[in-house]
Each structure stands twice: as structure tokens, then as C-alpha cells.
Amino acid sequence: MSVLVVGGAGYIGSHTAQALKRRGYEVVVYDNLSTGHAVLADGLELVVGDISDTAKLSQVLRRVDAVMHFAAFAYVGESVENPRKYFKNNVQDGLTLLNAVVDCKVSKFIFSSTCAVYGIPARVPITEDLPRLPVNPYGASKLAFEFALEAYGRAYDLRFVSFRYFNAAGADETGKIGEIHAPETHLIPSAFEAIGGERGALQIFGDDYPTPDGTCVRDYIHVNDLADAHVLGMEYLENGRSAKLNLGTGRGYSVREVISTIERISGRKVPTQMAPRRPGDPAELVADPSQAEKVLSWKAKYSLDQIVATAWSWAQSRKKTGK
Ligand code: UFG
């Protein structure tokens, strides 16, 4: 069985591509390398191409049984300033990919969705049946694609899983792949940059939220736990079903709790500075992952300590190797 991993030279895509390979799938990575890195696809077949290129896509789609789609822009702040970029890539070009998939008669599709589709949730932990009311263009672009998949699933011979990720973090233990973003905006790698003096103090975006210590609470999930869920999602599709599933741990940590975990694991002080709230940040986003646990027989295994430890090793090795 062969899987086309679109966006497989990116952060979550590369970890999933490796997990598929370990499980015995034939993997073809398709990536335009605009934000991906060829080094993250080392050891795999890499086709450099864009999701808007139907001809190139069709060539590779004819030789695979399933598609996983990770190729998207994912900066919330940027999506507010430049929504056109997000709707073009995540919706318009995403639909070009989806149409090519259907035209080439590939009937299994896994989509990287996000907890941002829920917007500011009416309750936490978040279950899949909560209303989808995104509060930024990034979340809206992902929701538009979810709607398309649901309609295509009903109309055509297409089975799909939409995985709504919470906060992906950590790196593979091999030290070969991990997070590479430019610019880096995510909390854990940003804190590492502050430790290393590669940026100024880490800004804590707001400490007046209605949470126990006033800082935002998020559900941090290890990227290999996400990757494992995708492999199981593939098996679920092989059994002929579709689903929309949260992928999180069910446990939230505040920004301050993450910072003190980073300090404990790294043995270094994180220089911090208080800053105003970041627009569009809900106070608390924590998954109820019970649906994914039930239908996939999956459970997130990595703790926050392991997430931080693997991310820290990766950041240190990148400095040494210059990756
Ligand atoms: N934070 C800081 N300082 C920083 C960076 C982050 O205080 O320098 C805080 C944020 O305010 C937030 C938490 O740390 O409370 C986590 O922020 P990240 O930027 O690491 O992640 P987000 O929660 O913003 O983003 C994630 C996914 C997005 C998704 C979003 C949904 O990466 O793809 O959740 O809200 F859209």
C-alpha cells in the first residue's frame, strides 16, 4: 500500500512519513519546499511540486492508494494580515489537490485540520460536536476544506479523516527530524531561542486570562503521537469509514507551566517579558480526545516533559549540525 504525503517535508508531515515507513507503507513525499526542507524527507522519495499543479499531481496520484495532506500555511497572525495567501493555498490550491485525488480515483484521504476550527469554544475540554466557529482566517480556511471533504465524501467514492490537531510540539528521538520554522512563533522553540540569545526575552502574551495563573492554557501533543494517529487513521480508512477527530492529550498546561518545565529540563533560565494578549488567542484550548482513542485504539503517550526534552535535543543538535 502506498501513500502520498503532501507536505511531507514539513514538521508534522515528515514525522508521519517516517511513521508510515516504519509501519511498512511505501511513502512518496510531495512538497514544494516553500516552507518544507528536503533534509526532513531524507531516505524517502521526494517529488518537488506544488499542490496547484494538476499535471504533476496526477502523475504521482496514479501510483498511490491514499493521500495525506499537510501542505498548508499555519500562522494565525499572518492569516489575519494576509488572508488572501491563506485562502489561495489552504482552500483554492487545496481543492485543486482534492479534485485531482478524486479524478485519479484515489479513495482515501487524511487531512490536517486544527483546533482553530472551533474558535473560542463554549466549553473545555472540546468535543468534536461543538460548533465550528473559527475566529481567524487560518481556522476559516481549514474549516472550508473540512466542508469540502464532507461534501466530496458524500458525493464521490472518497473516505476521509479530518484530524484536528491541538498544539503540536516535540521532535523524533532519532534527532534526524524536528521542527524548523522561519520565523519561529511557537512557544517552546521560541523559548529555546530566548535561552540561546537568538532573540530577546520570550514575550508572555497576557497574564490576565481567566485561568489558574492568568496565562493561556493549551494542550501540547507530541508530534510522534500525531504521526501514530495518522498511521492508525490509514487503517481505519482501509476499513471503509470516515471521521473527524480531535488529536490532543486531554491535559492542558499554562504558558508559565511550560516555561518552568523548559527551565527544569534544560537547566537554563528562560528570559521572559510580559506582553499584551496576542489577538485571537482563546484562554483555554484542551481536547477531549476520547473519540480518537475509541475509534483508533490510540492514546497520546508522551508527557510534557518528554515533549520538551525531545524538542530541546533537536534544537541543540540543529545548532551543532547547522540543519
Ligand atoms: N505564547 C507566548 N509567547 C510566545 C509564543 C506563544 O506567550 O512567544 C503563548 C500563546 O499566546 C499561546 C501559547 O503560548 O497561549 C501557545 O502558542 P503557540 O504560538 O505555540 O501556539 P498556538 O496555540 O497559537 O497555535 C496552535 C497551532 C495553530 C492553531 C492554533 C489554534 O500552532 O496552528 O493553535 O489556536 F491554529
The alpha carbon of 186 and the centre of ligand 1 are apart by a number of angstroms equal to 6
Q: What is the atom index within ligand 1 of the atom nearest the CA of 169? A: 20
Q: Which domains does the chain have, with CATH numbers?
A: 2-169+220-247 (3.40.50.720), 187-218+250-321 (3.90.25.10)
Do 206 and 278 meet the contact criterion of CB atoms below 8 Å apart?
yes
Stretches where the chain sits below pLDDT 50 are: none
Q: Is the CB of 141 under 6 A from ligand 1?
A: no
Distance of alpha carbon 240 from the chain centroid = 24
Closest among 35, 31, 32, 8 to 20, alpha carbons compared: 8
Name the pTM for this structure: 0.97
Residue nearest to atom 15 of ligand 1 (CA): 216
Question: Rounded to an integer, what distance in angstroms lies between the CA atom of residue 233 and that of residue 246?
Answer: 12
Q: What is the DSSP letter of 127?
A: P
pLDDT at 85: 98
Beta-carbon contacts of residue 212 (< 8 Å; ≥ 6 apart): 254
Beta-strand relationship, 167-169 and 220-222: parallel
What values do phi and psi take at 40, rounded to 5?
A: -75, -10
Closest among 70, 35, 81 to 280, alpha carbons compared: 81
The alpha carbon of 276 and the centre of ligand 1 are apart by a number of angstroms equal to 14
pLDDT at 303: 98
pLDDT at 322: 66
User: Catalytic: 138?
Assistant: yes
State the catalytic residue, choosing from 138, 152, 209, 236.
138
Question: Rounded to an integer, what distance in angstroms lies between the CA atom of residue 302 and that of residue 299?
Answer: 9
Q: Is the CB of 204 under 6 A from ligand 1?
A: yes
Residues pairing with 217 in the sheet: 254, 284
Closest among 281, 224, 317, 261 to 11, alpha carbons compared: 224
pLDDT at 323: 63
Q: Is the CB of 185 under 6 A from ligand 1?
A: yes
